[in-house]
Amino acid sequence: MGRYTLRRLLQLIPVILGTTFLIHFLVWNLPGDPFAGRCGERPCNPAYIERMTELYNLNDPLIIQYGKYLLNLLQGNFGEDFRGVPVAETMAEVWPNTVKLAVVALSIEIIIGIGAGVLTGLKRGGFLDNLVMISTLFLMSLPVFVIGYLLQLTLGLQLGIIRPTVSPEMPWSELIVPGFVLASLQVAFTARLTRASIAENMRADYVRTAVAKGLPRRRVVGVHLLRNSLIPAVTFLGTEVGALMAGAIVTEGIFNINGVGQTIYRGIITHDATAVVPMVTVLVLVYLLATLLVDLLYAVLDPRIRYE
């Protein structure tokens, strides 16, 4: 497994190179002047353009430009945005917020998704099962922003149960509803996946054996059945980290959370690529590492899987 992990880590290098190059190319070298409309009504100050051009080596051929940019990144020099704020500073400010939101979302996904899946899988056709099946259908068919605005409107503005937007200090309690919105789609998928997996494995021979061994039902379900039924859900959680990050753009927007999604979004609509490239690069890295982590976890959960 050690060698496998090492190989997977080495594979990250070309992927990172490829993605950063692509992103760099897309934001700096698409047709059109990157400075158009940057400085209000008037064209930009030549001194400013010159400074940015030099900072990002915009006069060099594309490949050199990219090489120099990458070298800067490696040295921890993330450049600065069009307002002159160092990108590293922005990153340090927004990443913790998004991570906090993602942790809440992932916890909700695991607790509610797997919990509901286990309960309904054990007893299909009951009231709880119908409730979960219908509500997950809702969650899956409604776009995230609809769910977000709906909850903000009802819980926040009409009922006043939550603050409509999250305060800048990002207290955990205020993140529950945004976290749920962000996780909504995945909660639904996880619940249904776990439900199907529990229902299928419940009939498995080894579960019958566990009962025949005289184990209490709690142990049959909680140890023997659950451990096997979690495998598909865990695989799913990993691949969904990417979707979670994409969903963050919308959720952060609705609840006014100063996070990665918001920053990237702002960067894109204001044509300020400076922050977008490093942010997305880190996103890609997070996604790849999460996938690797899940693959390794998969092997831990299911000993029949061996990575060579």
Out of 216, 222, 246, 293, the residue judged to bind other proteins by CB under 8 A: 216
Of 60 and 302, CB closest to other proteins: 302
Residues 262-301 close enough to bind other proteins by CB under 8 A: 301
DSSP string across 274-303: HHHHHHHHHHHHHHHHHHHHHHHHHHHH-T
Q: Is 123 in the site for other proteins (CB under 8 A)?
A: no
| For the chain, the helix, strand and coil percentages under 3-state DSSP, each to the nearest 5 | 75, 0, 25
Q: Is 155 in the site for other proteins (CB under 8 A)?
A: no
- Which pair of structure tokens corresponds to residue 282? 């880190």
- Tell me how far, at minimum, the Cβ of 203 lies from other proteins, in Å: 8
- Tell me how far, at minimum, the Cβ of 199 lies from other proteins, in Å: 13
- Residue pair 247/185 in contact (Cβ under 8 Å)? The answer is yes
φ/ψ of 33, rounded to 5, equals -85, 120
- Tell me how far, at minimum, the Cβ of 271 lies from other proteins, in Å: 52
- Residue pair 112/185 in contact (Cβ under 8 Å)? The answer is no
Count of residues interacting with other proteins (CB under 8 A): 21
- Which pair of structure tokens corresponds to residue 69? 């940019």
Out of 55, 119, 176, 204, the residue judged to bind other proteins by CB under 8 A: 204
Of 210 and 237, CB closest to other proteins: 210
What SS3 state is found at 244? helix
Out of 6, 15, 227, 293, the residue judged to bind other proteins by CB under 8 A: 227
Q: Interface residues with other proteins (CB under 8 A)?
A: 203-206, 208-216, 219, 224, 227-228, 301-304
